[in-house]
Amino acid sequence: MALSAYPDVPLFRYPYTELTEAQIAGKLAPAAQNGPGGKGPLESDLAGTTLRIVTDGSGTLTWQFGQRNRVTFNGVEAGYGALTLDHVTLITHLMPNSTKGWIIAWDRSSNLATVYELWFGGGPSPHMREVNRAIWHGYVQTATGPAPTARHTPTLRIEGRALAWTEDTGNRTIDYYPSVTYSHWVELDRLKEGRGYSAPSGYIQLTEDIYAYDRVEAEFSGLMHMFLMDMNRLEQVGVRFGFNGKDELEYYMFRGTGEWLGQLARFELFGDFSAEPFKTENDKKGERRIYRPLATMDKLTPAEVAEVARTKTKVFEGPSGMAGNGTPASGALAGKAFAIRYDDGPSMEYRFESADSLSWRKSGGAWTKARYNAWEVMPGAFIFGHLLQGEPDHDCHIVAADLDSGMATLFRGYMNTPYIANEAGAETYFGKITGEGIPDPGDRRHERTRDMLGRAFTWEYSPGVNSMHVYSTPNTVSWVIPTPTNQFGSEWSGTGDFVKIRDQLYFNRWLEEACNGTLGTFLVNMRTMHDAGIGYHCSKTELSLGPIGAPARHAGRIDVEKFFPQA
């Protein structure tokens, strides 16, 4: 694959180069001398200023600013850049002959400061190209007056908000901040698919108005995107630092303007403003909890998948932590028989022999018995699923069947994708049901919907097994995991698809690509705020269909429709 700064494949499919420390040092050298770039003018009014920042945890750090953009730190001269947002100045420079750099947020009114120490290599990141950062809070030492006791602090005040930013570079980004340790971003210009991704992030409150945010695109490019945002004026100044998909250094400062898009609910107890749920005394410098799913995923060959399918298939066997709070399976399909003809897809005939056993045949082939489960999520509207034994890609069919309208939607799950054999792929088909007492919908079909777009639902699968979905784009599902104290923490994302079955009844799916390989599906009833769903998964230990079910809370809706014009 030819290298591309901003790939036209999903970022989790892109083969980012494992850069060496020497390569990185070489690429940083000119920028260390010259300072960051920028579309607009950078500030140079710091000449003659000595900034002595007393930090909690990293001692006293001293910067001496010379003429133009020269700065000296630890006796080494470099080029710096600065931009001021109201009364807070953001300064950055790299250290020559090293793979290190700094970003300083200096509040000129309070003299409080937050320092971002940046480096490549040496951990904690396992990837040389991924920016490491440690954040130090402190104050600027002055000749007069006592040292302030206040500090900039990690905050949950931003949690749940979403903004659209337009930088002076022309780049537009939708930022979702549904967590206190992660964020989710959608590049509207540089990436082709309008897909959202999730990254470990930090949120620091400087004042009631101004917050510092950073994300490191861990598991992808490793780029750091950091900015100060003024929540009243909806303005930002920031720094982009790291290597893009073409291994080019991006080191520039930017200004931007924001648009407030809404806020999802927060679920901490009232009065709980703690914002560092994972911090421990033993944390190493720069250490934080970063979800690296591809590293832990079982990766099987097609032959291994076939062997698992032959010997270790589990279909609705036993209780599932993903459905401890689910509704009971329905036996209402038992005794029924119908066919589903999917447009541009298979024709399926069904005989439901009992509450959990059916026979199917595909496009007039032989009848095959299969175990299934079904749930009647709204009267007359079912989700059911089964494996198609004998199909070369170990297919499953997960179907939303509305027996009152005669319409059905199929999520066909399959293995042996081109990337990882045990990573599920999925297709969506729309069709009509024919059977006794089932009305003929004619040409009407279920349709994809934007009704989910921007919404977030929490799901309480079992005691202690909870998550929140954020439907950030028309093709993205992001999931965020709460801590026991209800701050949202780790977040990841995959491909989504959303189909309207009836008013307030939606059939949705997500794919855990380059993650676990699971296909998750669910039929959510927004009247009862409960769903029933089916997960399809293959690992070393099993090829499985299992139940998913949880009561939902509607956590809010972010207004992003206009950013995704329909073709």
Partner 1 sequence: MHKGSETSRRSLLKASAILAAPVIAAVPSVAGAADGSRARLARLEDEHAIEALQRKFLRYLNGSDEGSDLLASSEAMDVGKGLRAVSQLGQEPELGLEDEGQSAIMRCSYRVEREIELTGNSTIEQMSRLQGQGSYREREERLLTTRFVKSEQGWRIAAATLA
Give the binding site for partner 1 (CB under 8 A).
277-278, 289, 291, 293, 296-298, 319, 321-322, 324, 461-465, 467, 479, 481, 483-484, 489-490, 492, 512, 515-516, 518, 535, 537, 539
Cβ proximity to partner 1: between 188 and 481 the closer is 481
| DSSP-based three-state secondary structure for 145 | coil
Q: How far apart are CA 367 and CA 358, in angstroms?
A: 10
Q: Please state, as a whole number, how many other Cβ atoms lie within 10 Å of the Cβ of residue 301.
A: 12
DSSP state, residue 27: H
Q: Which is nearer to partner 1, 324 or 346 (CB)?
A: 324
Looking at the Cβ atoms of 348 and 470, the one nearer to partner 1 is 470
Q: Note whether 24 and 250 are within 8 A (CB).
A: no
**Residue 223: strand, helix, or coil:** coil
User: Quick one: 297 or 403, whose CB is closer to partner 1?
Assistant: 297
* Rounded least distance, CB 477 to partner 1, Å: 11
The DSSP secondary structure of 376-389, one letter per residue, reads EEETTEEEEEEE-T
- Least separation in angstroms between residue 296's CB and partner 1 is 6
Please identify, using beta-carbon distances, which residue of 69 and 181 lies nearer to partner 1: 181
**Smallest separation, CB 479 to partner 1 (Å):** 7
* Smallest distance from partner 1 to CB 181, Å: 9
Neighbours of 224 (CB within 10 A): 25
The nearer residue to partner 1, 167 or 512, going by C-beta atoms, is: 512
* Omega cis (within 30) before 124: yes
Q: Closest approach of Cβ 467 to partner 1, in Å?
A: 6
- For residue 255, the minimal CB distance to partner 1 (Å) is 35
Cβ distance to partner 1 smaller for residue 350 or 461: 461
- Smaller CB distance to partner 1: residue 269 or 366? 269
Contact between residue 372 and residue 384 where contact means Cβ atoms under 8 Å apart: yes
DSSP symbol at 327: P
Smallest distance, partner 1 to C-beta of residue 256, A: 31
Asked if 479 and 492 touch (Cβ cutoff 8 Å), the reply is yes
Rounded distance between C-alpha atoms, residue 215 and residue 387, angstroms? 40
Residue 43 CB contacts under 8 Å (≥ 6 apart), including other chains: 81, 82, 83, 84, 89
Pair of tokens at residue 542: 């099993």
CB of 498 to partner 1, least distance (A): 19
**Angstrom distance (rounded) from CA 234 to CA 175:** 13
Which pairing describes strands 543-557 and 313-315: parallel, antiparallel, or unpaired?
A: parallel
Q: Which residues is 101 bridged to in the sheet? A: 94, 118
Q: How far is the CB of 484 from partner 1 (least distance, A)?
A: 6
- Closer Cβ to partner 1, 73 or 278, answer by number: 278
